[in-house]
Structure formats: C-alpha cells, structure tokens
Amino acid sequence: MLDYTQIASTPAEPEASSMIETFRAIGYSIETAVADIIDNSISAGAKNIWVDYDWKGPDTIFWVMDDGVGMAGDELIQAMRPGSISPLVERRKNDLGRFGLGLKTASFSQCRKFCLISKKDNSEVDFWSWDLDFVNQIKSWRLIKYCPEQAFFEEKLSQINSGTAVVWWDIDRLTKGTSVDSESSKSKFLETMDKVKKHLSMVFHRFLEDGLTIHFRDRKIKAWDPFMFGSEGLQPKPDTFLEQGNIRIKGFVLPHRSKISAEQYENGKGPKDSWTAHQGFYVYRNKRLLVAGDWLGLFKREVHYDLCRVLIDLPNNFDDDWQIDIKKSVARPPSKFKDQILSVAKEVRNQAVEVYRHKGKVLKRKLAVDDYSPFWEERVRHGKRFYRVNRAHPILEELLLKSGDLKKDIEKVIQFIEETIPVPLITLQESEDEKPHAQPFEGIDHISMKETMRKLYSSFLDKGFSPDRAKSRILNTEPYNFYPEYIEFLSDE
Ligand SMILES: Nc1ncnc2c1ncn2[C@@H]1O[C@H](COP(=O)(O)OP(=O)(O)O)[C@@H](O)[C@H]1O
Ligand SMILES: [Mg+2]
C-alpha cells in the first residue's frame, strides 16, 4: 500500500459538460430509457405510474409520474447527482437500481433538460433540474431551480400524498427538426410512443400482473406475457435451479399456431412484432425483465425455433456475475453456468422444433406419395464413385428449360461442380470433426429457399397439379423435405 501522505496530489475532476455528453452516448433507446425511469418509481413503492406527454413539436414535454415515497431537500439533490449510490452498495431485495446513474443517463440520452419534482408525505413540493445548456455555460455540475409547467405538476402532485415526476423537455433525440403542425412529425412521434407503451407492457409484465398500474395517457397498460401463460397447448418444462436455488431456468414450448386463435397468434409476436425476434432467453432480475428474446450468443435465431422461449430468473445480487449493464438491457451468463444453460435450452429447443414441424410432418405423411427428388445422386462411373447433380430436380429442370442459349454454359458449370466437388476433404472432415455437418440451409436465412419453394408451387399449379399434389412433390424434393413447416402456409400466401 502506498503512503499517500508522502505523495503530491492534484484535483482532476471530470469536466461537467463533456461528461454529460458522454452520458448521452450510452446507447439507450427511448423505450429502455423510459423503463429505467419507471424502475425508480417501482423501487420507491409506487402503486400507480403515469406516463404522459404534451406534443408540441420541438417543445414537447414528456413525463413519468408516480405515487411512490417521494423525495425532498438534500435527498432530491442527491438523487440528481450522477453516481448517487455506488454499485458496490448492497441493494434492498426489491430495489431495481444498479449504478446510481439511471435517472441521469436515461434522461440525458433523450433530452437536454429534465426536472425531478417530488413530494414526500405531508411536505412541500420540491424540484431541481439539470439543464445541459446551463452546464455548458458555467462548466460546472450545477442544478437549476426550475420546472417547466411548474403549476401543472404542483397541481398533479397535490392530488396524491407523495410522489415524484420526472419531466423531460428539449427532447432533441426525439423531436429535433419536427414541427407541431406537421402531421408526419406527429404520427412518427405517436408511433414512437406506441413502441414505448409496448415495451413497458413487456418489461414490467410481472409487476402489472401483480397489481401495479401504469397509465399511459388515459389508458392502463396491459401486461404482455411472453410465455402465454394459461393458453391451450403451452408446454412448460420443469424448473432447473442453479446457485443454491437462487437462479431458476425454465423452458417453454409455446403452442402451435393451429392451437391458438388468430388474435393470440398476433399477440404472440410481442413488441418486436415477430415470433422469430421473440425466441430465446428471457432474463429477469427480480420481477423486472432485462433481456427479452435473445439467445445470448449461444445459438442463432432460426424460424423453426419460433415456439421456444426460456425464462431465467435472477435475484439482484448477481449483477456483476451476469454483467448487467447500465441500460439494464444486457445480461451475459457467467461461463460456469454455460453448460447447464446450454443443456436446458437445447432440450427445449428440440421439443419446440417438434411442435413447430408437427403440422408439416402430418401433411408430409398424408401427402407423401411422390418419388424423392434429391439434388445430388450417387453414381458409379468406370468402377468409381461419383456424385452427380440431379438434372430432373424440379428447380434445375425449370432453369434448364428456361435457359435458352445459356443452356450449354449452365450444363458446363454443373459439370465443373460435379467434377471438382472435394469429396475426399469432406470425408476427412466429417470423420475428424466432432461438429455435425449442418443440414441444408441451416443457420442462414431462408428467404431464397422459401422463394423458390413458392415459385415451384405455383409452377406445379400451372402445370395442372392439385394443391395437395404440388405440396407432396415439394415435400419430396431436396432441400424442402428438411422444412415441412413451410408447406402449410403455401396456399395462404
Ligand atoms: N421516482 C423516484 N422516487 C423516489 N426516489 C427516486 C425516484 N427516482 C430516483 N430516486 C432516487 O434517486 C436515486 C438515483 O436514481 P438512479 O439515478 O436511477 O440510480 P439507481 O436507480 O441505480 O439508484 C435512487 O436510488 C432513488 O433514491
Ligand atoms: Mg434507477
């Protein structure tokens, strides 16, 4: 340990304005920023939270108000200080805070000015604001005694015993370059607000289910449950516990589209409006959802895993282990748990594929009367094995038919591929490498495959095939036989 009394020192405080600019660059979206503000309301014991705005183009104000315990005097100033509580301080069990920064970083990520106006039980309303323009001017960390629409917020707070409002204005990230009178500005703004609302319905769904009310303007936000609890055909898997029961992992195979109503199916697409975007892990810290549908780098998103969602429940004292970030939107499993998490997830994923493909498979069994059309065929030439591209494969047949003058050239290229295919290398790799060879189109996007599948389907129909017969041909054609799940949607596209 150094003896600091013997060593010279000099102050080197952060330069206020540049530090705040740094805060602005943390990378919140407005959804994650608002969620971070609401975390504070929940930690303050709020039963009601009001999210509201007054659209005025660049002069728009946006606020989150709660009926939590509120703050006054020094407490309020302390809350406005960047780093008000060290991340090393142990938090109450139901505290959603993390670095003592959220209020400031989340607000500054969206606006240049914000006010914290608050009232404790039986005390006066108090407020302070951060104003980036003022900080830039005086180059020092100083709050101003100002609140936009002060009378309005005082009035609002007078209607509750205690509570707090965070008011954002000069919301440049959202309203710069807009105009009050522009319809397109307004509709873009409203679209963003809708995104915020959907995000909150997901992130706080457990709180909403347990009685918290979040009012978004004049409507109450409804919880969006990623696991469609209570729906027919849902398959919850058993719990797996880690770290002496502190961490819970639970897989869910969501119901197949045919088991649920069209409305439920739409709802299942969630705030990201896509089943595929919503597959993956759902990491909760206490009741708060941090990560919503992400394979945490362990797997790729693929459409046939659409029905797979895996819950991970963490308490709030594992933040370091799981690398919870400032925005509370990233978590990474510590390597010591990786194997267990992988094994739970793999099992659920496999079951989810089964359910996803079930309908397609039934169709395949029902329809499969055609001969199989592989893309490659094994042949013998001069006593030696040889792999030949199947010229009768419908995709190739069609191409050759349409190719006109190019037919000879295409034939030549196919021959080149056949003659140079590195069979010895493939054989060697297959026997030495533990990694299994991917099935056709595994792990890449399926757009081109689906497109050719659709084209093939309509060309079969043009040839006078019945829809069932056309499907049956496709189900017996490589590589479509690997993806029977796409078949059932062919006719309704
Ligand atoms: N709505 C609120 N009601 C009561 N206290 C609040 C509210 N918002 C913020 N605070 C206080 O300000 C502190 C700092 O908040 P914040 O910057 O979000 O950091 P953190 O949530 O990580 O503690 C909180 O710990 C809390 O004491
Ligand atoms: Mg916070």
Give yes or no for residue 384 having a pLDDT over 80: yes
pLDDT at 368 over 70: no
The DSSP string of 34-99 is HHHHHHHHHHTT-SEEEEEEE-BTBT-EEEEEE-S----HHHHHHHHSTTSS-TTSPPPTT----S
- Output the CA 32–ligand 2 centroid distance in Å: 12
Q: Which residues contact 102 (CB under 8 A, 6 or more apart)?
A: 36, 37, 39, 40, 326, 328
Pocket test for ligand 1, best of 40, 90, 168 (most atoms within 8 A of CB): 40
Strand (E) or helix (H) holding 461 = helix 447-462
Instruction: Note the pLDDT of residue 203.
Output: 97
DSSP letter string over 361-398?
HHHHHHH--SPPB-SEEEEEETTEEEEEE-TTSHHHHH
- What pLDDT score does 367 carry? 64
Q: Identify the pLDDT of residue 423.
A: 83
Atom of ligand 1 nearest to the CA of 164: 1
> Is pLDDT at 492 greater than 60 in this prediction?
no
Asked if the model's pLDDT at residue 97 lies above 80, the reply is: no
The two three-digit tokens of residue 70, written as one number: 């509120």
More confident residue, 427 or 254: 254
Nearest alpha carbon, ligand 1 atom 12? 79
- Gap between the Cα atoms of 177 and 99, Å rounded: 33
Contacts of 84 (CB under 8 A, 6+ apart): 78, 100, 101
Strand partners, 163: 119
The residue with tokens 């119901």 is: 255
Looking at residue 293, its pLDDT comes to 94
Please give the share of the chain, as a percent, with pLDDT higher than 70.
95
Could you read off the pLDDT of 177-209 as tens digits, one per residue? 999 999 999 999 999 999 999 999 999 999 999
Ligand 1 centroid to Cα of residue 57, in Å, is: 29
Going by C-alpha positions, the residue among 60, 32, 352 that lies closest to residue 199 is: 32
CA dist., res. 17 & res. 24, Å (int) = 11
pLDDT reported for residue 136:
92
Q: Is 373 in the pocket of ligand 1 (CB under 6 A)?
A: no
Q: If you average pLDDT over every residue of the chain, what do you get?
A: 90
Which band of pLDDT confidence, cut at 50, 70 and 90, is reported for residue 83?
Answer: confident
Q: Where are the domains of the chain?
A: 16-220, 235-355, 376-433+440-489
491 has a pLDDT exceeding 90:
no
Query: What would the DSSP string read from start to end of 249-284?
Result: EEEEEPPPGGGS-HHHHHHHTTTTT-TGGG-EEEEE
pLDDT at 444: 80
- Torsion, CA 16, CA 21, CA 26, CA 27, rounded to 10: 160
Q: In this predicted structure, which of 100-114, 351-365, 430-444 has the lowest mean pLDDT?
A: 430-444
What is the SS3 assignment for 308?
strand
Which of 66, 74, 52, 72 minimizes the C-alpha distance to 163? 66
Q: Does 175 sit in the ligand 1 pocket, CB within 6 Å?
A: no
| Residue range 277-306, pLDDT digits in tens | 999 999 999 899 999 999 998 998 888 899
pLDDT tens-digit series, residues 118-150: 999 978 999 999 999 999 999 999 999 999 999
| 326 Cβ inside 6 Å of ligand 1 | no
Tell me, in angstroms, the distance from the centre of ligand 2 to residue 106's CA: 9
Beta strand pairing call for 219-220 and 235-236:
unpaired
For range 474-490, the mean pLDDT? 82
Is 3.40.50.410 the CATH classification of the domain at 16-220?
no
Residue 353 identity (one-letter amino acid): V
The secondary structure of residue 4, as a DSSP letter, is: G
What's the rounded Cα separation, in Å, for the pair 459 and 7? 84
Which range (229-243, 324-338, 407-421) has the least confidence?
324-338
Say what the pLDDT of residue 159 is. Answer: 95
Distance (Å) of CA 361 to CA 134, 179, 376, 483: 66, 55, 23, 9
Report the pLDDT averaged over residues 338-365: 84
Q: What is the pLDDT of residues 230-268, one digit of tens each?
A: 898 899 999 999 988 899 999 999 999 888 888 999 999
* Residue 6 alpha carbon to ligand 1 centre in Å: 39
Q: What is the pTM of this model?
A: 0.77
Tens-place pLDDT, residues 49-79: 999 999 999 999 999 999 999 999 999 999 9
Q: Is the Cβ–Cβ distance between 134 and 182 less than 8 Å? A: no
pLDDT confidence tier of residue 438, bands split at 50, 70 and 90: confident
Q: Mutual orientation of helices 183-203 and 30-43 as an angle, nearest 10°?
A: 50
Whether the predicted pLDDT of 493 surpasses 60:
no
Residue 106 has pLDDT above 70, yes or no: yes
**Mean pLDDT, residues 439-445:** 80
Which residue carries 């395949």 as its tokens?
A: 364
Residue 210 CA to residue 221 CA, distance in Å, equals 13
Side-chain-facing half-sphere of 204: CA atoms under 13 Å: 33
DSSP state of 302: -
Does ligand 1 have an atom closer than 6 angstroms to the CB of 68? Answer: yes
Residue 75 half-sphere exposure, CB side, CA atoms within 13 Å?
A: 12
Taking the centre of ligand 1 as the mean of its atom positions, its distance from the CA of residue 194, in whole angstroms, is 25
Cβ-based burial of 293 (10 A; exposed 0-12, middle 13-18, buried ≥19): buried
Cα–Cα distances in angstroms (integers) from residue 392 to residues 90, 275, 386, 477, in the given order: 69, 36, 17, 11
Q: Report which ligand 1 atom has the smallest distance to the Cα of 36.
A: 18
Reply yes or no on whether the pLDDT at 389 is more than 60. Answer: yes
Model confidence at 364, pLDDT cuts 50, 70, 90, reads low
Kindly give the distance from the C-alpha atom of residue 164 to the centroid of ligand 1, in angstroms, as a whole number.
10
